[in-house]
Structure 1
Amino acid sequence: MTAPALPELEIPGVYRIENISVKEGMPLVLDMTRAVYPHAEVYGDYITVQEHIDVPPDELFEYLSDTRSLGEWTYSMRDFAECDEEGLWVSDDRIGDHTKIYTRTIASADARTVDYHCAWDQGKHLWMIYLMRVIDAQVVLNKPGSVVIWTNCRHPYYDGNAYPETAPEGRPVWVGDFWELFYAGHLMELRNLKAIAEYRHANGQPIKPEWMK
């Protein structure tokens, strides 16, 4: 069955084949395709990195679902300890000198999504959200392994600490100071994940190490 042409979709700025032909729409698409893009347009409010990892998706998902895995493949999160609140972990974020970072991992095995809810200094409002999805590469690329897509949204608190009373005295930086470097930093970390996981898989080792189990 074909959906009827609904009057409520006749809204300025909504382009559908019912109101704009392919010939008319092509110039609009071409105008949106540029050889050079402004940095703020690409990395302003959202950061997304992606990578193929030659590891079975279920095994990679299991590894990422354990918060402690961040202590291996991230650049600066170390020394994880579980808090009194179940599922909440605290660790050192060494990019922020003497900074504690709190993390809760929310994962869905059915969708293979892994969301890290984090915050510097305090664990009551985890506003830094890192959204990851592990996809079966056989489905999307017709080859073994996984595709990992990682997105970060620019929460307003990146522009200013909403909980200054919890910050360590004399810390010279705020996490949002690094936003312009997030794309490169996340890509480096994703490549860390790729290197670690592929090394273990190639050498017959479990992706999630025994000490995590």
Structure 2
Amino acid sequence: MLVLFDLDDTLIETTQSIVEPRLDRVLDKMISSGLNIEDRDEALLVLERLNRTGSSSKEALEEFIFLYGGDRALLVHGQKIISDPEFNDLTPQMVIGSEKLLYDLKSIANLILVTRGDEIFQQSKMKKSGLPYSLFSKIEVTSSSKKGCYETILKEFKTPPNRVIVVADRIEDDLEPAKELGMVTVLYRAMRNRFSILPDLCVDYVIEDIAQLYPIVEERC
């Protein structure tokens, strides 16, 4: 049995403990770089709302800049602040219960971590958050579609797809490719997507607490 985890908003509270605390700095940088804002407090509320409802922080920044008539070059400034790997301003937090879950599952399954993004930033999140990454049999950081990573893992571990559980917070990026390969899919409804409407029968399981993964793994083992 393999259990594949996504990183952001699945094991680490990326939205709540990294992105949201940095939005204030992002807005200040945009203003100092030429974005015309009449009411800063109102603009910050708009940015926070867009970040909560958007599919990613990048999408939220793009929409915010468009709404306020800013230059697209401002996006670079915003993303640079959000993806600062030094973390001198904050400490990334693990999802509550995820550390215990990993230790418990390690005794009955091979744990795999597949995450998409900048490798330096992703590795820094793992270390700074205290994620016990030594528990993973494999860690894959990719800048492209995860489907290729999933296919490679199936071959490497010689495991049939129906013996692989994929846990993630995004359907299109993480779970659709897994579903296409015949893997068992678990949507963790993190803060960013908790109130979104789900397409019918798009995943096998939906959980809102990471501890709800225990009975799913037991059922599939």
With the shorter chain as reference, the TM-score category is under 0.3
Structure showing the higher strand proportion among its residues: 1
Indicate the structure with greater helix content: 2
Higher Rg of the two aligned structures: 1
Q: Which has the higher contact order (CA 8 A, sep 6+)?
A: 2
